[in-house]
Amino acid sequence: MRKGEILRLVDLEGQQAIDFLCFSADDLADRYNAANTIKLNRNIYLGKGSELWSVRARKMMTIIEDTCGSHDTLYGCCSVEVDDIRFGKNNGRGCQGNFEFELAKHGLSEKDVVANVNFFMYVPVEASGDLAIAPGISKPTDYVDLRAEMDLLAVLSNCPEALNNAAGFKPTPIRAIVYSL
């Protein structure tokens, strides 16, 4: 994506998580950083007006529209290994594998898959610190618009998770559109 372009992510049927990472096009080592994003937004949830920040504290993207209102920064992505432990089975490649496959095309590897944003995934945090993936709150055709604040590589995985609520136990299609105003 080029600086100023907008990425619209649409949850076509509702309750479908979209795992997301981005990297500076000028320096792929400067990538999305969950901790900086949480610190600089002063919130663990993202919504309209939130910004995605890099390892080097550079603003990468800004959420300029959001019909859902809450996106997860904590839970990271699903993987064969984690699903095997949690459920005794898995969904196949999972978001970790999807990220690895796409990032390899850009000379990156599994080491470059870091804690990601989960658009449309609902992860409530209790006062005790307990958290879980709860049923999604996104409705059919909910969307989030992200404006690129720098040239970047954006990578997403339509979460294939059928073993928990990240995709309402039945993954469904999404739409991704890049446009300029």
pLDDT tens digits along 167-179? 999 999 999 999 9
Backbone region of residue 30 per phi and psi (left: phi > 0; alpha: psi in -120 to 50; beta: other values): beta
pLDDT bucket at 93, cuts 50 / 70 / 90 = confident
> What integer pLDDT is reported at residue 181 of this predicted model?
87
Helix ranges, 12-55 (H): 34-41
C-alpha dist (Å) from residue 49 to 61, 97, 132: 10, 30, 25
> What integer pLDDT is reported at residue 103 of this predicted model?
98
**Mean of pLDDT values over 75-91:** 94
Q: Is the pLDDT reported for residue 92 higher than 90?
A: no
Q: Please tell me whether residue 143 adopts helix, strand or coil conformation.
A: strand
Q: Please tell me whether residue 97 adopts helix, strand or coil conformation.
A: helix
CB atoms within 10 A of CB 25: 17
Question: Which residue, 80, 83, 174, 84, is CA-closest to 121?
Answer: 174
Structure pTM? 0.96
Cβ burial 105-115 (10 Å sphere, 16+ → b, else e) = eeebeeebbeb
Cα–Cα distance for residue pair 60/147, rounded to 1 Å: 9
